[in-house]
């Protein structure tokens, strides 16, 4: 198969947009006699005029050959062996050209069969992610008509979509992710396969899906993503309680996700535990309010309910790490300390818990939706500021008592 080549005067990717470390890696691989290109999401984002978060490299060099060339490289993965080349905190991910793009249904359990650049493209998920970029010649290399799909804003699988989704069901999550991020239209056969294969999602690795959900909470497009995830029926398979809640009109979770998206676009750093707590807090609040009609609740009971809600929403498919679960429980429970169930405004005493600022941040987002919470947020913010100022003051010096002189002794 001959690829279509798009020169710089057509694709208009500016050379200064290419990461210098990624360019260095490509040059060094080529000097050693290997083929190497930028590939995947980085090329896609450059063509869309966005700044890529990552620059991935695909090469004919095998993982052991990559490691031999770069002292700062480590090899990771068993199912999918690749190299991470570190430059300080930055990582350039380098993968070897793979084959294995078959038309046979069934989960892919092994993905370390080396191949050509053409074979490597054909085993990728969507046409918009199947483009190579040669930074030396400044050419885009397209084997799968990904370039026109980008121009038309179409999401289409490489190969038969039903087979591609059964081979790796996480691709369905990624399809919804790109639809939410870019507002692209899904190619009709791909959309039909999404609806017919959605039950396959439970055969996926929960760790991979959980990571995709966390990344979308950090993406600035989380509201659109969770709305589509629920609309297309995948959320019901992963978390039925959350799907039932999101089906309600004007539900608070989507409003909170909209507020989170605004913060992400302003580059406000947000902890992942905070993001998950914000996602499920409205469902938790509803449970607490319903029970409070029957009995008086104290914070210990509310904390137990917080952990039960986490289990209710995420089990049995997801396994939340213990530390993350604990932070989520604290943030959710603290909302009823910040705003008591009886609604009374009391003199605040900010705790010294390191995660209290996350709880206060969630109250801030809630107050942006419900202005009646603003007095509580203002009071706790002022009290937290005063407590912080007090903690920053130097300790008072103890005054030394003067010794009384004996008789008419002169001081020395």
Cα dihedral sign, 213-328-250-318: positive
Tokens at residue 212, please? Answer: 């995709």
* 293 CB neighbour count, 10 Å cutoff: 6
Tokens at residue 275, please? Answer: 């993001």
DSSP β-bridge partners for residue 131? 142
C-alpha separations of 36 from 134, 164, 328, 358 in Å: 8, 26, 43, 44
Q: Are 358 and 310 in contact (CB under 8 A)?
A: no
C-alpha separations of 191 from 18, 156, 209, 237 in Å: 33, 9, 19, 18
Q: Are 139 and 133 in contact (CB under 8 A)?
A: yes
* Cα 201-206-208 angle, rounded to 5 deg: 95
Counting Cα atoms < 13 Å in the Cβ hemisphere of 6 gives 18
3-class secondary structure, 67: helix
Residue that the structure tokens 């008789």 belong to: 407
* 113 CB neighbour count, 10 Å cutoff: 11
The residues that are catalytic are 54, 56, 125
Residue that the structure tokens 């998920």 belong to: 125
* H/E segment holding residue 84: strand 82-87
Tokens at residue 27, please? Answer: 């040059």
Q: At a CB cut-off of 8 Å and minimum separation 6, what does 242 contact?
A: 230, 235, 253, 279, 280, 283, 313
Q: Which residues of 170-191 are buried (b: 16+ CB within 10 A; e: fewer)?
A: bbbbbbbbbbbbbebebbeebb
């Amino acid at each position: 198969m001959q690829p279509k080549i798009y020169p710089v005067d057509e694709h208009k990717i500016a050379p200064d947009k290419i990461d210098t470390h990624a360019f260095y890696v490509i040059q060094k691989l080529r000097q050693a006699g290997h083929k190497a290109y930028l590939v995947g999401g980085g090329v896609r984002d450059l063509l869309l005029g966005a700044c890529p978060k990552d620059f991935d490299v695909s090469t004919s060099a095998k993982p052991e050959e990559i490691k031999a060339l770069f002292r700062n490289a480590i090899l990771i993965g068993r199912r999918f062996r690749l190299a991470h080349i570190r430059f300080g905190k930055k990582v350039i991910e380098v993968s070897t050209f793979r084959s294995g793009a078959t038309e046979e249904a069934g989960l892919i359990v092994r993905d370390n069969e080396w191949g050509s650049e053409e074979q490597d493209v054909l085993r990728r998920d969507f046409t918009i992610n199947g483009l190579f970029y040669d930074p030396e010649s400044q050419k885009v290399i397209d084997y799968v008509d990904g370039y026109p799909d980008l121009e038309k804003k179409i999401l289409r699988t490489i190969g038969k979509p039903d087979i591609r989704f059964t081979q790796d069901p996480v691709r369905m999550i990624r399809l919804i992710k790109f639809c939410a991020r870019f507002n692209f239209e899904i190619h009709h056969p791909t959309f039909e396969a999404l609806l017919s294969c959605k039950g396959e999602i439970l055969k996926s690795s929960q760790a991979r899906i959980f990571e995709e959900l966390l990344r979308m909470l950090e993406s600035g497009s989380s509201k659109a993503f969770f709305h589509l995830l629920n609309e297309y029926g995948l959320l019901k398979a992963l978390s039925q309680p959350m799907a039932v809640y999101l089906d309600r009109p004007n539900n608070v979770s989507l409003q909170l996700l909209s507020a989170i998206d605004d913060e992400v676009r302003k580059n406000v750093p947000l902890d992942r535990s905070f993001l998950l707590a914000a996602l499920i807090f409205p469902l938790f609040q509803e449970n607490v309010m319903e029970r409070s009609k029957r009995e008086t609740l104290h914070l210990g009971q509310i904390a137990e309910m917080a952990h039960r809600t986490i289990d209710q929403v995420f089990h049995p498919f997801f396994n939340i790490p213990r530390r993350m679960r604990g932070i989520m429980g604290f943030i959710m429970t603290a909302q009823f300390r910040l705003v008591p169930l009886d609604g009374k405004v009391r003199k605040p005493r900010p705790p010294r818990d390191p995660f209290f600022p996350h709880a206060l941040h969630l109250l801030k987002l809630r107050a942006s939706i419900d202005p009646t919470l603003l007095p509580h947020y203002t009071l706790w913010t002022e009290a937290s500021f005063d407590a912080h100022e007090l903690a920053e003051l130097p300790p008072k010096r103890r005054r030394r008592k003067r010794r009384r002189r004996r008789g008419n002794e002169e001081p020395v």
